[in-house]
Amino acid sequence: MSKQYKLIRCRINGKEREAMIDVRASLTDLLRNDFRLTSVKKGCEVGECGACNVLINGECFNSCIYLAIWADGKDILTLEGLEGPDGELSDIQQAFIDEAAVQCGFCTPGAIMSAVEILNEGRELSDEEIRIRMSGHLCRCTGYENIFRAVKKTMLARLAAAEKNK
């Protein structure tokens, strides 16, 4: 197949963006190559490991098997978009640090993005539900234990805060 290019417009981490893209490119390629959002990691490129997960209109996807052209008109959030304007960490990022849920760090960005999707639902998930929802991520360093703790802790903290503000 010869090269074909298409202009797409989307929101990435809150900013309106345009890019001419090779229609064969994955969203991972677009984010890593065109916008240098290198938190989006390549671990398998066939949707098996979850290292490339990003939120698209609030829903978590393997960006490696999501064509870049499909991103046209979408709202995309990568790990880089979680920090506050002055570089302050979000609660889930801080929890990953505090719970020692980070080791080599390669699966971390994708895992945090799945956690964000879960946490944004604003409801209490059972331990089993958290495990199911996080099971698209492969990690060889942590045994998932501290990632689980970080997600659960943040979920409970958000629910407690929401309860207080009622």
Partner 1 sequence: MYAGQSVKRVDAFDKVTGRTKYTDDLCDRKAYIARVLHSTIANGKVLRIDTSEAEKVPGVVKIVTCFDLKEKHYYPTAGHPWSTDPSHQDVADRLMLTERVRFYGDDIAAVVAEDEVAAAQALHLIRVDYEEYPFVLDVQKAMEDGAPQLHEAYPNNILKHTQIRLGDYEKAIQEPGLIKVEGWYETPVVQHCHIENFICYAEMEGNRITVVSSTQIPHIVRRVVGQALGIEWGRVRIVKPYLGGGFGNKQDILYEPLCAWLSMLTGGHLVKLDVPREETFVCTRTRHSIRNHIISWVRPDGTYAARKLEAFSDQGAYASHGHSICAKGAGAFPQLYPCKNVEVDAYTVFTNKSVAGAMRGYGIPQAMWAVESHTEDVVAALGDDPLAFRRRNLMPKGYVDGFSKNELYEDSFNQCLDKAMAAIDYERKYKEYQNQTGDVRRGIGMAVFWYNTAVWPISLESSSCRMVLNQDGSFQLQVAETEIGQGADTAFAQMAADVVGVPLEKVHVVSCQDTDITPFGTGAYASRQTYVAGFSIRQTGLLLKERILDYAHELTRMPVFNLDIKNGNIVRITDGRVLMSLGELATQALYSLSDSRHITAESTYQIKSNAYSFGCTIAEVEVDIPMCKTKLLNVVNCHDAGKLINPALAEAQVHGGMSMGIGFGLSEKLIYDEKTGRPLNNNLLDYKLSTFLDHPRLMAEFVQNPEPTSAFGTKSLGEPPACSVAPAIRNAIYHATGVGVNNAPADAHNLFRAFTQAGLIHDER
User: Which residues make up the interface to partner 1 (CB under 8 A)?
Assistant: 24, 33, 37-39, 41-46, 48-49, 51, 78-80, 82-83, 89, 93-94, 96-98, 100-109, 112, 131-132, 134-135, 137-148
Structure tokens at 100: 């020692």
End-to-end CA distance of the chain: 57
Report in angstroms how near the CB of residue 5 gets to partner 1 at its nearest: 13
Give the nearer residue to partner 1 in terms of CB position, either 24 or 162: 24
The helix or strand, by DSSP H or E, that contains position 12, with its residue range, turns out to be strand 5-12
Report in angstroms how near the CB of residue 68 gets to partner 1 at its nearest: 14
Give the nearer residue to partner 1 in terms of CB position, either 15 or 166: 15
Strands 53-56 and 59-62: antiparallel
Give the nearer residue to partner 1 in terms of CB position, either 63 or 78: 78
Report in angstroms how near the CB of residue 152 gets to partner 1 at its nearest: 11
Give the nearer residue to partner 1 in terms of CB position, either 5 or 73: 5
- Residue 10 contacts residue 76 (beta carbons within 8 Å): yes
- Residue 155 contacts residue 116 (beta carbons within 8 Å): no
Q: How many CB atoms lie within 10 A of CB 121?
A: 11
